[in-house]
Amino acid sequence: MLERKRSKKLFSKKKKSCLPIALFVLGLLILSFILIPTTSIEMPAPSGLTLAATRPPTLTPLPPPTFTPLPLPTGVHGGRIIFTCTRGDFNQLCMVNRDGSGLLQITHERVNQYYPAFSPQGEAIIFASTRSKGTFDLYLLVLSTSKLLQLTDEIGNVFSPDFSPDGEKILFINRAGEEPAGLWVMGRNGENLEDEEPPRRLTQGLLGITGSMDWSPDGRYLLLSYTF
């Protein structure tokens, strides 16, 4: 009779003995990854500096500028408004309260009066008028006494007078003869005092001065507009 061939066993005894050892080693490796903490290596930055993450700065918006209203005039005029008003065939000077009440006509002569402006303290008014010889000259009217003082005498046709912030000088525009209108300045008493600054021209060759001008708050600079 033929003997049956014995079938080979899938695992030999030798291989069976190695399997528990392999499983044990694998378990140790898994436990080592779980139990041993991981460490990070900090790379040095160039020049030996340590890199560190920083949070970007937080932008704080600036508050909008607040408007500070200018104080109201506190002089004799008490915050009133002066302007040119038409009465019949002539232009006169009138004053009114800032709310529109209390209309008062200041001049009544049969001549034209233009460009009134208060002095810094409000005690007087400067303006241009044709009351002398037909040309426009500058006059100063003291409100408390109604005293009238002529400041210029036929130096041309003057208009748009304005006091300096300290009240010591008067800026105005003058057209002398056929010359273009120019910017002029003089002392507060005009041509009446010999030791005070007489009227003198500040600009030469500027054509088309429009009459828009102003002092800087410290009185050192002038702002004007003109066309080329």
pLDDT at 61: 75
Tell me the two tokens of residue 224: 């004007």
Residue 7 CB partners (closer than 8 Å, separation 6+): none
Cβ burial 124-134 (10 Å sphere, 16+ → b, else e): bbbbbbbbeee
Q: pLDDT value at position 227? A: 66
Per-residue pLDDT tens digits of the chain, which is 228 residues long: 444 555 455 445 555 556 667 666 676 676 666 655 555 545 554 555 555 566 767 777 777 666 555 444 444 456 788 999 988 888 999 999 888 888 989 998 899 999 999 998 888 999 999 887 778 999 999 988 889 999 988 888 888 899 998 888 999 988 877 777 788 888 888 766 665 677 888 876 666 665 677 888 888 888 877 666
Domain segments of the chain as ranges: 81-226
Q: What is the pLDDT of residue 125?
A: 92
Asked if residue 123 lies in contact with residue 144, where contact means CB atoms within 8 angstroms, the answer is yes
**81-226 belongs to which homologous superfamily?**
TolB, C-terminal domain (2.120.10.30)
pLDDT at res. 126? 94
DSSP SS3 for 43: coil
